[in-house]
Every structure is written in structure tokens, then in C-alpha cells.
Amino acid sequence: MSGELSPIDKAKFVSAKRAAQYVEDGMRVGLGTGSTAAWLVRCLGELVRDDGLKIKGVPTSSRTAQLARDVGIEVITLDEAKWLDLTIDGADEFDGDLNLIKGGGGALLLEKIIATASDQMVVIADVGKEVETLGAFPLPVEVIPFGWQTTQALIEETLISMDVLGRTSTLRMNGQTPFVTDEGNHILDLHLNRIGNARQLALVLNQMPGVVENGLFIDICDTVVIGYGDGKVEVRDINEGTVATERLDFVESDNLFSDLTE
Ligand code: 5RP
């Protein structure tokens, strides 16, 4: 089956597989959303099933909750867990300080709450997600449906005084209707091209009425596990200041590579 995977999927898979090594017996683990996080959930499911790993997972979306249950991971709520040992999640972009853009999958609100409630956040990503400056990926902002067009106008007006290159935004759609998040909100994607001061922008956006949360994760991620299409994995730890490289054996596994729903 592995021969059917594209290099980018291989990169996502090896980053997820390497990150699964952070998970230990008894941990309460935040489970991210997206195609890379789906690999992680599958890897953890295999460890639960084959090695008897005992964990409780707190999913960051209904999609991930479903997948986690399907692969045999015990799912609990954040209120049941109260605090987490570790969250492992994907990202749309990460920079040299391990600041992130997230929310491409529309789950940024729960992802940020859960990552913030964790002792450690490990991001799993293919090497294409690394950027010098955040902002090429449109910044997702979750807004409540009430008056979303007014909120959008307010955001665009506010962007005039921000250090960004683009100032347009679009309502995320799901076919003909607006995309609705797990919490019943909409997403505005901000086309900024380059974000000069991500910390300031994150604070300003979250002060606006109608904005629930934005997809900038500042000082939340501790470690990034970067996967390459040839099986190479690079682990960067911002707290330790370490960078380590290794190569993972790409073992074919029908259980992991079939029926991927993300
Ligand atoms: C979902 C996210 C995802 O982590 C992000 O979009 C990356 O997704 P993928 O692993 O599919 O590239 O933030 O809200």
C-alpha cells in the first residue's frame, strides 16, 4: 500500500508516526484535526490495539472524535480530562519560532483551547508547511453567524493599520452554503500574504466583537516534527533549542493505509 502514497502523504505519515513516540501509557492526549492528525490517530489506534497502550484522547473536532473511536481510542471531553499531558496536531504554516497558522480544517477554536490546556503541544507537518514569515496561507478567523458581514467589514477596516500585505477576506463555503464549525460558527479567511507582527494581529483580532478566535497560535507549540517524502524526520524543540534528524522505516501496513477518511 505504501507505494500508492504520494511523497506528501509519506511526509505526513512519518511525522505522525514519529510524534506517536511522545505518547506514554496513562496520558491524556489532545488529538488534532486534519489529514496529518488523522495519520497520528491511526498510529495511536494501532498502538492501543497491538501494544496495549492505555490513553484517553480529547479530540479537537467531531471528525477526529469519530476516527478515534473507530480505531479504538477511548474518547473523553476536555472537562473530564481537565488538563492534558500532550496535544499533537497538524498546522497550515509554522515559522522559525514555532508560531503557527491553523484552522485550514475549520477546527481552530477547539484546537487552540485544547493545545493551550496541555503541558506540551507537538505539531506534525510535512516540510512544505515551513515558512519564514506567516501569512501566505489565508488566516482563518472564526466568527459568530450573527452580523458576520459587519464583523468582516470591521476586520478589513482594522487590517488597514496592521503590518500585513493583503487586506481582503472571504467567507469559507461548504458548497453553496457557508461552512459551519463544530461550534456553529462561520470562518472568514483573511488573505494577508505576509503577517509582519503575528502577535499583535492575534490580539487585535480577538478584541473585536463577533470574533470568536483566530488561527494564529503564538507561543503555544513546543515541538515540531517535520516529515519528508523520503522518510526523513526532523524534530525541533523550541524549549530545549535542539534539532534532531532521523529516518523512519516505512513499514507497509494495510490497517493504517486503508479506509483513510480525511
Ligand atoms: C485544522 C487544522 C489542521 O491541522 C491544518 O489545516 C493542517 O491540516 P493537514 O494536516 O490536513 O494539512 O488546523 O483546523
195-245 pLDDT, tens digit each: 999 999 999 999 999 999 999 999 999 999 999 999 999 999 999 999 999
Same domain, 207 and 88: no
Same domain, 118 and 169: no
Cell of 162: 496592521
Same domain, 119 and 232: yes
- Look up the CATH number of the domain holding residue 181: 3.30.70.260
From the CA of 145, how far away is ligand 1's center (Å)? 23
How far, in Å, CA of 261 to CA of 187, rounded? 22
Give, to the nearest 10 degrees, the angle between helix 35-51 and helix 7-19: 50
For CA atoms 51, 230, 221, 93, the dihedral sign is negative
- Would you say residue 39 lies in a domain? yes
How far, in Å, CA of 195 to CA of 84, rounded? 30
Same domain, 71 and 148: no
State residue 193 phi and psi, 5-degree precision.
65, -45
Pocket of ligand 1 (CB under 6 A): 32-37, 89-92, 102-108, 111
- Would you say residue 256 lies in a domain? no
Atom 4 (ligand 1): residue with closest C-alpha?
Answer: 90
50-87 pLDDT, tens digit each: 999 999 999 999 999 999 999 999 999 999 999 999 99
Cell of 166: 493583503
Closest CA to 144 of 180, 106, 94: 180
Q: Which residues are catalytic?
A: 111
- Tally of structural domains, the chain: 2
Give CA separation, 202 vs 141, 188, 244, in Å.
Answer: 10, 14, 30
> What is the CB neighbour count within 10 angstroms for residue 27?
16
- Would you say residue 11 lies in a domain? yes
Same domain, 123 and 227: yes
Same domain, 35 and 52: yes
Domain residues for the domain of 46 are 2-130+219-247
- Look up the CATH number of the domain holding residue 61: 3.40.50.1360
pLDDT at 252: 59
93-107 pLDDT, tens digit each: 999 999 999 999 999
Same domain, 46 and 174: no
